[in-house]
Structure 1
Amino acid sequence: MRKKQDYSRWEAIMAVRNQSFKTSMARKTALLAFCSTFSLSAGGTVVYAQDEASDASSDRIVVTARRREESLQDVPLAVSAYTGDQLDELGAQDLTDIEALSPNVTLETSRATNTTLTAFIRGVGQQDPVSGFEAGVGIYIDDVYLNRPQAALLDIYDVERVEVLRGPQGTLYGRNTIGGAVKYVTRRLDDEPEARLRLTGGTYGQIDAVGTFNLPLMPENASGGYLRAGGAIAYMRRNGFGDNLVNGLENYNKDILAGRLTLDWGLNDAFSIRVTGDWTEDNSDPRQGHRLLPYTDLTVMPAVTYPVLDNVFDTRAGLNTPEQSVVARGVSATAEWQVSDEFTLKNIISYRDDETTTPIDFDSLPIVDLDVPGIYDNKQFSEEFQILYEGDRLSGIAGFYYLDAEGLTVFDVVLDETAPLLMLAGLNAFTSSDVSTKSWSVFGDFTFDLTDTVSISAGGRYTEDERSISLLRTQYFTPGFSPSFGGPDRAPDVVLADLDASATFTDFSPRASITWEPSPEHTLYASYSQGFKGGSFDPRCGANAAPDLDGDGMAGAVDIDDQIAFCRFEPENINTYEVGWKNSLGGGRFNSNLALFYSGYKDVQVPGSIGIDADMDGIAETFAGVTTNAAEATLYGLELDGLAVLAEDMAAAGDSLSYQFTLGYINAEFDEYTGRTGTDISDVAVFQNTPSITAFSRLSYQRPASLFGKDGDANVSTSFSYRSFTNQFNYASPLDQPEVWLWNAGLGWTAADGKVKLSVHGKNLLNKEYVVAGYDFVTTLPEFGNSALGLSGVLTTFYGNPRQVFGTIEVAF
């Protein structure tokens, strides 16, 4: 039973969190009013069009958000883009750093992992990384969709740009994604030989080394033919922010070796093929959580008490089986053939796989109360064919996409502390869930210019997803791991599920928009788009516990139809309406983007769990997942981003002062949320990983400066990012994060020829502690189907990075 002191600790934490939430409301109102006033006069995105008369503006950037090259300021979509040089200036190290820059976006390191990504855009995402759950936000590397979140937290090196598209995607490319997409675009090769070396050193023993090369094997000839090779290798190492006080391992450390190799061949100026391979090896120690509850172990004499640790990055997690490891690799080939002035054919084929072994200690104690060793093994093959048309008034794309993917998740749930209460020697719930996806779709999107200033677009996508699951859930009533994790070879005592099932889901998703450009400086648009996320089977389902769902008098223990229906969940859909205004004023000195959106979110997939009494003694000794389409919601909000060149030539030729800003606001509320009791609990359900306000503000000063006898430009900047109160789950929890401000600063110098770069960056300079993920098996809300597991009371948190300072030198040869 849970101890009274545990409840007191929990109630105290909840009181502090709730008070922080209430006191932040007045600040939110003032912040929103201030940011809206300023950004309407001087806002803009991070990447902008440049007028030749304004040297202080950023270079004009071309994005491919609509599968054709366009200026970011002309694209009638809610999209942010950041060049590799800009990300260097900001000190961005991986995709989670993009979160602060982009409105209504959450990109976080998943709980108890180092390189698994949790992504949410405009309230839509997927927090659970196990197989069977499809991502709500698509992550792409050079147009290749990553089907699973493992190894998707990409480090930023040798990158050309990162694009963040908000809202449903699918009529233009790749996999349909219901919430948005993040596109990681690697640097393209050119005809100039070059090698670069970038070295970074910083606090916590940080040592990063990145080497890149570009080698033209055959210079471009008169017909446009060429052959180029290039690549990058990166080693990133950092000591832990804390320590594991039980096994001596570091906690939150980093040890990653990664690389890419590219061969780019142009037969002539009409045909080219690019082959790229990449790999990542993550040998970091396991990231274990910080326990928020004290615990006294009465099973030993004398009793041992484990108080809450002072350092939030320290842990007492005892599990280290299997050893933490992540290996990911992939290869892709992109071929383009310009058949004529109007038609271009493009084909993208790719294979990827990754394997993760990880020890997850939910209770973060030396005892074996809720220990979960896990393995993720993912494979995918994708093929995409596109026909692009660019005429005088009509342009667009038609394409075909195919995905064949398999995700295997294997894990134990060891509950040895619970076993004595059940008169058992040990207790282990083993799960093996192998989910395969075969998906094909056809899509198209075309734009027609009605006049020189008005154009209309229409598109659609038809998708067919076939999902199959091979699920085995068993229990062992003897101590130790299952045979899959090195335990003794023995038969399970109870079979909770032994299911093979498949289902097919189809959908048609339309999109339409109208764009008006009253002048070259202004773009206004209105759009409608529909998003779709396929159904599947819950990978933790206890199929044998299914009730009699078809009314034939037989329950799930003997009725396979009941088991399939119990474990299956249906697709979810979203309808999004958006209006936007993009402008570039004062010769490119003032740029701003404004988007207003409204979404109706239906049949929302809600993961839940129920207790299972396998031996029918009245005690639920394990749990099973049951995902339902229990919710409907309404989401609306706004997104502003901007850049203002406040002053130029202030003291000397070339001096400039600029201000960059982003603001996101979202109102996300459930209209209906059916709990396990069958009642509507939408009045207490909340959206996870969706702060109502996100903001970013950066002031940057640049001036010419000579260093070591070389001409160049110096830059100094300071920035703040803000996130309002954030729920970690779909219910109020003591792990919810109150509003948080983070302060960063940077100083850099770049030689005029670009061959030498020096910089120093400080991140989270105020050393704020803020929660990004966690496990809560204390907050018992039966309506949500949660079951308290473990006797110690599991309330475990994972935190964002503390204060870091690092310096970088980059040299080109």
Structure 2
Amino acid sequence: MNNKSFRWKVLALSVATICSGSVLAAEDTQEDQKDKKVKKAEIPVVTVTARRSVENLQEVPVAITALSDLELEANGVELITEVQRFSPNTTLQKSRGTNSTMTAFIRGVGQQDPLWGYEPGVGIYIDDVYIARPQGAVLDILNIERVEVLRGPQGTLYGKNTIGGAVKYVTIEMTGDAEFGARATIGSFNQRDVKVTGQIPVASNFYVGFGAASLNRDGFGEFLELDLPGQDLENYHKDVAATRLTMEYRPTESLFFRAKWDKTVDDSNAKGGYRLLPSLLTNAPVPDSVYDSYTSLPTFNKVEVEGFSLTSEWLIDENSSIKYIVASRENYSPTNIDFDNTALRIFDVPAVYDDEQQTQELQYNYSTDGLKVVAGYYYYNAESCGVFDAILEEYGQSLSLPSLTREVSGCSHSQSNAVFAQTSFDLDEQWSMTAGIRYTKDEKAAVVRNGLVFATVYPYSGWVPGYVRPAGELVPVVLNDSDDWSRFTPRIGVEYQYSDDIMLFASYAEGFKSGTFNPRASTAEPAADPEVVNSFEVGMKSDWGDNFRANVTLFMLEHKDRQYISVLPGDNAADLNQRLGNIGLSEASGLEAELTYVASDNLTLEAAFGYIDSDFKEVIDTDPNTGLPFDKSDRFTIANTPDLTMNLNAKYVFESSMGDFVVNGGYYYRGDYVLFEEDSLLTQDGYGLVNLGVNWYSNTSNLTVGLHIKNLTDEEYKIGGYQFVTPDPSDPTDISLYTPGLGGDNTLIAYYGDPRTVSLSFGYQF
């Protein structure tokens, strides 16, 4: 990349948006860009592939947030979870016990339990390849072109498990030129990141691209009073290595092939939680720092993800094409989760997740001035397995037993076939329609083992020094069953082009999340049926002049047959009796607005607002004593869903003899939210994060320097937790009256978002 092209990237950045994102128009070639000069700041053209074809964002009747690589770089975004602050009514956070497991909610719809067998409510995609499991879904930004967040059910083009929406991670397509880039970052808590990317033209029509990253950071806190030898005591630390390899081959103008391989190994420690209540069984005090923890488990953790995909595309003529994508992915994750977070084995859960998936998709695209068609076939085959040991040693000793462990293990095998078609067509010069439908047939089989072992048991030998696991299966099979489901998910919409720059739209869409068996089943219970979301939207995509953009969506949805675990009372605190069923009905309505105002040639102001009113309308459970149904919806709240999300941002660009500077300042606010649906004791009050950054682009070379401060005011905010205590009904707010839960202790644990961090990055493009 020569200096003129590099200079154009800087100028393009000066007029890009944060709320809506900025991706250069597809028709702009690299040679054209070299000669362009920005004389006046204007709202940029944004292209997305939300409907599986390249389109102008302002012409797509879907609520979308898109962020380009330039915007991600300008804001110092390092993880895909940071995208949540730019997308209204969106939650993308690191889950409770690891750094790489995703908790995703959009418009109050998602799934927070990462156990094998459960299905997500928000689909994660890498270059149109669906990521079935949340482990390893917290992706680091590497070789990326843009991120798209699609809000609302995407059941027609993206299929099952996108009932809340979809997050698309789109990597850069190669240009054919020889390129090499390197970026190094140092920062708070001894952050040490190195990224290298590049591409090599092997022949005139064959290119090889690569990317590699080593991402390291010391812990925000530490593990206290850990007696196990040889353990790393850092808590919330980071140790990630990521590699990507791409090969592209274009034998003719109409044929294109791309093979991709990626591997990520996260050796960061397991995260320890912060005890919000003093332990009843130990003398250790509540830690001074929310990032400090106690544990009796080893601190090691691993998330190892590897994937391969092959994309073939044939341009039949100027209007139609066929694309075929085949992919496979594997994940292996041994982890340690100390639920009680004490130095005693009160409630320790060492676990292993082992998943693999294969997908195939055949797409047909047809496009003319007044008609667009996308149709295809999708195949999905996956197996998700695991084992966890709930070690209740202290409770066992109180019963005069040597030790006590409840072990749960099993596998869930899923197969899905789907056919889909969607068309958009003009009715006249102003009116158009969108209509689509998908038919999905799901099949699932599950095996669950569950039982008590009167010993301290770990998933495999050597888990702790000197441990040898007994041979054979330790607990019996309690569930061995299969089931299948099928469903049509339609989408229909109408669009009105009021003027060249203003489009109004209304749409109705459905989506469903697959049925599933209870991976913690203690008896042979039936599978839960699929969840269904019906959604209605009205919206506006508008550009007012060349300096103001307003995209606004009003929505309402009904979430039916919500799957939920009911905890059944047992004979003692060692029981883990949980029943999975379709017991819930919830509704939500709200507003989303993404605004961009180019105040001058140098100053751009952006805002993203999300408001949602969501609650449970019905939660039907069965009284275990009487066998009669009853409604307990008054005890339920939609989790991980603040009623208000807001992002305000200002960007100022100025030139100097030293080079160009891009200065960003932003304020991100999340309203109150709970972390659990039923009787949540973990509530996060509303909070705001201030983020500042400045990027410098050299006039004389392809050097960039970025300085970023995140969470400037050092806010402490909860993003996950565990609650195994029972409040006293006479006064639920009095913590002194809490009754101990599983393991015999008052386990109320929280995990927190990142504290204030400062980072300095140096990048160079050769």
Question: What TM-score does the superposition give when structure 2 sets the normalisation length?
Answer: 0.90
SS at match of 2:398: helix
Give me the whole-angstrom Cα distance separating, in 2, the residues matched to 1:602 and 1:173. 20
Give me the whole-angstrom Cα distance separating, in 2, the residues matched to 1:665 and 1:49. 30
CA apart distance, 1:735: 1.9
CA apart distance, 1:608: 2.8
- 2:551 aligned with 1:593, yes or no? yes
Give me the whole-angstrom Cα distance separating, in 2, the residues matched to 1:586 and 1:58. 9
SS at match of 1:154: coil
CA apart distance, 1:173: 4.0
Aligned to 1:311: 289
Give me the whole-angstrom Cα distance separating, in 2, the residues matched to 1:406 and 1:356. 14
Aligned to 1:200: 185
SS at match of 1:163: strand
Identity in percent: 38
CA apart distance, 1:780: 5.3
Deviations 1:34-70 (A, max 9, x none): xxxxxxxx99623388999874346422111011111
Residues 127-142 of structure 1 correspond to what in structure 2 (within 5 A)? Answer: 127-142=112-127
Distance of aligned partners of 1:136 and 1:669 in 2 relative to their CA distance in 1, 3 Å threshold: same
Aligned to 2:28: none
Q: Is the 8 A contact 2:18 2:67 kept in 1?
A: no
Q: Is the 8 A contact 1:173 1:399 kept in 2?
A: no
Distance of aligned partners of 1:375 and 1:754 in 2 relative to their CA distance in 1, 3 Å threshold: farther
Aligned to 1:625: 578
- 2:340 aligned with 1:363, yes or no? yes
Aligned to 1:263: 247
Deviations 1:193-233 (A, max 9, x none): 110000100010001100001111222xxxxxx11111100
- Which residue of 258, 263, 266 corresponds with 1:282? 266
CA apart distance, 1:787: 9.3
Please identify, of 517-526 and 485-494, the stretch whose mean Cα deviation from structure 2 is larger. Answer: 485-494
- 2:755 aligned with 1:792, yes or no? no
Distance of aligned partners of 1:132 and 1:480 in 2 relative to their CA distance in 1, 3 Å threshold: closer
Residues 211-290 of structure 1 correspond to what in structure 2 (within 5 A)? Answer: 211-219=196-204, 226-247=205-226, 249-290=233-274
Give me the whole-angstrom Cα distance separating, in 1, the residues matched to 2:309 and 2:558. 36
Distance of aligned partners of 1:443 and 1:145 in 2 relative to their CA distance in 1, 3 Å threshold: same
- 2:598 aligned with 1:645, yes or no? yes
- 2:592 aligned with 1:636, yes or no? no
Give me the whole-angstrom Cα distance separating, in 2, the residues matched to 1:737 and 1:702. 36
Aligned to 1:579: 538
- Which residue of 745, 748, 764 corresponds with 2:695? 748
- 2:615 aligned with 1:669, yes or no? yes
Q: Is the 8 A contact 2:120 2:161 kept in 1?
A: no
Distance of aligned partners of 1:456 and 1:466 in 2 relative to their CA distance in 1, 3 Å threshold: same
Give me the whole-angstrom Cα distance separating, in 2, the residues matched to 1:515 and 1:622. 55
Give me the whole-angstrom Cα distance separating, in 1, the residues matched to 2:187 and 2:474. 52
SS at match of 1:98: helix
Aligned to 1:35: none
CA apart distance, 1:293: 1.4
Aligned to 2:8: none
Residues 339-354 of structure 1 correspond to what in structure 2 (within 5 A)? Answer: 339-354=316-331
Residues 362-761 of structure 1 correspond to what in structure 2 (within 5 A)? Answer: 362-481=339-458, 486-489=467-470, 495=476, 497-543=477-523, 563-565=524-526, 568-587=527-546, 589-613=547-571, 619-648=572-601, 656-677=602-623, 678-707=629-658, 712-751=659-698, 755-761=702-708
CA apart distance, 1:758: 0.9
Please identify, of 484-493 and 499-508, the stretch whose mean Cα deviation from structure 2 is larger. Answer: 484-493
Distance of aligned partners of 1:113 and 1:781 in 2 relative to their CA distance in 1, 3 Å threshold: farther
Q: Is the 8 A contact 1:44 1:592 kept in 2?
A: no
CA apart distance, 1:267: 1.2
Deviations 1:733-786 (A, max 9, x none): 33210001110000111235882211100000100100000000114599xxx9
Please identify, of 403-412 and 423-432, the stretch whose mean Cα deviation from structure 2 is larger. Answer: 423-432
CA apart distance, 1:683: 2.1
Give me the whole-angstrom Cα distance separating, in 1, the residues matched to 2:343 and 2:53. 55
CA apart distance, 1:577: 0.3
Structure 1: tracts of 5 or more residues without a match: 1-41, 220-225, 298-303, 544-562, 614-618, 649-655
Deviations 1:627-668 (A, max 9, x none): 1110111110010011111122xxxxxxx1111110000011
- Which residue of 63, 69, 87 corresponds with 2:54? 69
Give me the whole-angstrom Cα distance separating, in 2, the residues matched to 1:280 and 1:770. 28
Distance of aligned partners of 1:463 and 1:174 in 2 relative to their CA distance in 1, 3 Å threshold: closer
Deviations 1:436-485 (A, max 9, x none): 10001001100111112211010000001101101111211234446676
Q: Specify the code of the residue in structure 2 equivalent to 1:231.
A: F
Distance of aligned partners of 1:787 and 1:377 in 2 relative to their CA distance in 1, 3 Å threshold: farther
Give me the whole-angstrom Cα distance separating, in 1, the residues matched to 2:651 and 2:552. 22
Q: Specify the code of the residue in structure 1 equivalent to 2:517.
A: F
Please identify, of 415-424 and 45-54, the stretch whose mean Cα deviation from structure 2 is larger. Answer: 45-54
Q: Is the 8 A contact 1:143 1:174 kept in 2?
A: no
Distance of aligned partners of 1:264 and 1:714 in 2 relative to their CA distance in 1, 3 Å threshold: same
- 2:750 aligned with 1:804, yes or no? no
Q: Is the 8 A contact 1:43 1:592 kept in 2?
A: no
Q: Is the 8 A contact 1:44 1:590 kept in 2?
A: no
Residues 85-234 of structure 1 correspond to what in structure 2 (within 5 A)? Answer: 85-173=70-158, 175-219=160-204, 226-234=205-213
SS at match of 2:705: strand
- Which residue of 23, 45, 56 corresponds with 2:20? 45
CA apart distance, 1:498: 2.8
CA apart distance, 1:620: 4.6
Q: Specify the code of the residue in structure 2 equivalent to 1:295.
A: S
Q: Is the 8 A contact 2:491 2:510 kept in 1?
A: yes
SS at match of 2:742: coil
- Which residue of 65, 70, 75 corresponds with 1:80? 65
Aligned to 1:23: none
Distance of aligned partners of 1:504 and 1:296 in 2 relative to their CA distance in 1, 3 Å threshold: closer
CA apart distance, 1:718: 1.0
Deviations 1:94-138 (A, max 9, x none): 011011111000001010111000100000000000111111000
Q: Specify the code of the residue in structure 1 equivalent to 2:482.
A: S
Aligned to 2:11: none
Aligned to 2:229: none
Give me the whole-angstrom Cα distance separating, in 1, the residues matched to 2:454 and 2:755. 42
SS at match of 2:394: coil
CA apart distance, 1:518: 1.9
Give me the whole-angstrom Cα distance separating, in 2, the residues matched to 1:482 and 1:196. 42
Give me the whole-angstrom Cα distance separating, in 2, the residues matched to 1:430 and 1:781. 30
Aligned to 2:720: 773
CA apart distance, 1:396: 1.2
Q: Is the 8 A contact 2:710 2:756 kept in 1?
A: yes
Deviations 1:416-451 (A, max 9, x none): 111133332211001112001000100110011111
Distance of aligned partners of 1:494 and 1:809 in 2 relative to their CA distance in 1, 3 Å threshold: closer
Q: Is the 8 A contact 2:23 2:146 kept in 1?
A: no
Q: Specify the code of the residue in structure 2 equivalent to 1:311.
A: S
Give me the whole-angstrom Cα distance separating, in 2, the residues matched to 1:644 and 1:52. 21
Give me the whole-angstrom Cα distance separating, in 2, the residues matched to 1:668 and 1:88. 34
Deviations 1:668-719 (A, max 9, x none): 1111012342321212310000110000001111111232xxxx32111211
Q: Is the 8 A contact 1:733 1:779 kept in 2?
A: no
